[in-house]
């Protein structure tokens, strides 16, 4: 059976409407009563043998030639994978059934359902593993990523709300004496900043030490100095932190402050390749629990490479933590997005 590539669509005979559109959710029905397919759909029918060739301006094309002409290999691999998993799906192109979805490249219907049922299970944005994605595009569609072996990995973003839950504790009447070093701040006594539930700093003599100095990271110290807890000039701490950490300090400080305000306890995520490891809101000593999340902070106007995203998600999954990205905007606004690897 032959078809023809016309204006970016593959036009198929009328007989294909009853064979492939109504029962299997391929393509769209044209005003002439024929079936129009997007290239990934047509490639799938070529791969199945339901189409022999597609006529194009470059001549009659088999599967390989057609994918070269249309540059649809990446979309085809994802489309084929979803079909193999038992899903019917439609392109979100205008005029196609999937166009009712407000995100992604493919609208995927629940197993056993199709476009006629009117319910979209999820949407998929198609990309390859060398691409980058804008943070503003994360949070609605699943990412279907095709690697160099033509394998598909799916990542599900989820927008998170981190509303303030906890007011910054009232500082003591007399700020706590502290020493500002080039890379950290030292406080004389481990109990100077309240009980361990606050989990500020780390005893310098060891995690279980009950006496001796307490060390604070520059991010922690900047937060506490601004809140009036430390007998240090907040601007001096900020200047030292900016000199040590660089331009990212402002972003890290904003994320730290929002996490604290939401009741979370952020600590260094260095051992996990992240900016923070984060303990959930709790009245208990956070040291008695495992951190629940890893947080990576980056500017919202900087696209993130898919390979970087995959690295963070994979590492977080390996230590049974949720991977969260804090995308920072102007005026310290932050978009929080959790991303997990999923199997549709």
Tell me the pLDDT tens digit for each residue of 253-296: 999 999 999 989 999 999 999 999 999 886 566 666 789 999 99
Stretch 79-97: mean pLDDT: 95
Domain-located, residue 343: no
79: CATH:
3.40.1170.20
Return the higher-pLDDT residue of 139 and 325: 325
Please tell me the predicted confidence (pLDDT) of residue 174. 87
Domain boundary among 128, 151, 179: 128
In the chain, pLDDT over 70 holds for what percent of residues?
A: 93
The reply to whether 123 and 15 lie within a common domain is yes
Strands laid side by side in the 178-180 sheet: 178-180, 185-187, 214-216, 202-203
The reply to whether 13 and 109 lie within a common domain is yes
Please tell me the predicted confidence (pLDDT) of residue 65. 97
Reply yes or no on whether the pLDDT at 309 is more than 60: yes
Q: Tell me: the pLDDT tens digits for 205-252?
A: 666 666 568 899 999 999 999 999 999 999 999 999 999 999 999 999
The reply to whether 189 and 95 lie within a common domain is no
Reply yes or no on whether 279 is catalytic.
yes
Domain-located, residue 138: no
Q: What Å distances lie between residue 307 and 180, 238, 311, 314, CA to CA?
A: 38, 33, 6, 10
Domain-located, residue 327: no
The reply to whether 120 and 199 lie within a common domain is no
Residues 6+ apart with CB under 8 A from 3: 10, 11, 12, 13, 16, 37, 42, 51, 54, 55
Mean pLDDT of the chain: 91
Determine the number of helices (DSSP H) and then strands (DSSP E) in the chain.
9, 22
* Crossing angle between the packed helical segments 249-261 and 218-226, to the nearest 10 degrees: 60
Annotate 258-283 with b (16+ C-beta within 10 A) or e (fewer): bbbebebbbbebeebebbbbbbeeee
The reply to whether 17 and 114 lie within a common domain is yes
The reply to whether 98 and 204 lie within a common domain is no
Per DSSP, the three-state class of 277 is strand
The reply to whether 93 and 179 lie within a common domain is no
Q: Tell me: the pLDDT tens digits for 16-32?
A: 999 999 999 999 999 99
Per DSSP, the three-state class of 106 is strand
For residue 284, with 0-12 CB atoms within 10 Å meaning exposed, 13-18 middle and 19 or more buried, which class applies?
exposed
Domain-located, residue 89: yes
The structure tokens 């839950």 sit at 165
Domain boundary among 128, 153, 182: 128
Per DSSP, the three-state class of 68 is helix
CA angle 88, 149, 82 (to 5 degrees): 5
Domain-located, residue 264: no
Reply yes or no on whether 290 is catalytic.
yes
Q: Which one from 279, 296, 312, 329 is the annotated catalytic residue?
A: 279
Q: What domain count does the chain have?
A: 2
Domain hosting 71: range is 2-128
Domain boundary among 78, 111, 128: 128
> How far apart are the C-alpha atoms of 12 and 120, rounded to whole Å?
25
């Amino acid at each position: 059976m032959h078809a023809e590539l016309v204006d970016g669509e593959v036009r198929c005979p009328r007989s294909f409407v009853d064979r492939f559109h109504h029962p299997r959710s391929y393509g769209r029905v044209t005003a002439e009563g024929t079936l129009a397919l997007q290239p990934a759909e047509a490639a799938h029918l070529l791969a199945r043998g339901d189409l022999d060739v597609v006529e194009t301006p470059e001549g009659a094309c088999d599967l390989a030639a057609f994918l070269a002409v249309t540059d649809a290999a990446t979309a085809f691999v994802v489309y084929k994978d979803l079909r193999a998993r038992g899903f019917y799906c439609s392109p979100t192109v205008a005029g196609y059934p999937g166009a009712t979805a407000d995100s992604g490249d493919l609208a995927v219907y629940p197993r056993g359902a199709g476009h006629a049922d009117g319910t979209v299970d999820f949407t998929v944005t198609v990309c390859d593993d060398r691409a980058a994605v804008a943070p503003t595009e994360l949070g609605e569609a699943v990412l279907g990523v095709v690697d160099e072996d033509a394998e598909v990995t799916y990542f599900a973003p989820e927008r998170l709300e981190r509303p303030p839950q906890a007011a910054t504790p009232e500082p003591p009447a007399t700020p706590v004496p502290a020493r500002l070093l080039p890379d950290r701040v030292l406080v004389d006594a481990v109990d100077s900043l309240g009980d361990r539930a606050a989990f500020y700093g780390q005893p310098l003599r060891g995690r279980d030490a009950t006496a001796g100095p307490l060390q604070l990271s520059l991010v922690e110290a900047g937060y506490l100095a601004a809140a009036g807890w430390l007998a240090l000039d907040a601007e001096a701490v900020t200047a030292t932190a900016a000199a040590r950490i660089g331009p990212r300090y402002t972003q890290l400080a904003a994320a730290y402050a929002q996490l604290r305000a939401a009741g979370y306890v952020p600590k260094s995520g260095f051992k996990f390749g992240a900016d923070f490891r984060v303990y959930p809101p709790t009245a208990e000593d956070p040291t008695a629990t495992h951190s629940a999340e890893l947080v990576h902070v980056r500017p919202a106007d900087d696209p993130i490479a898919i390979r970087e995203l995959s690295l963070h998600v994979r590492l977080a999954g390996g230590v049974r933590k949720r991977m969260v990205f804090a995308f920072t905007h102007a005026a310290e606004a932050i978009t929080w997005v959790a991303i997990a690897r999923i199997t549709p």
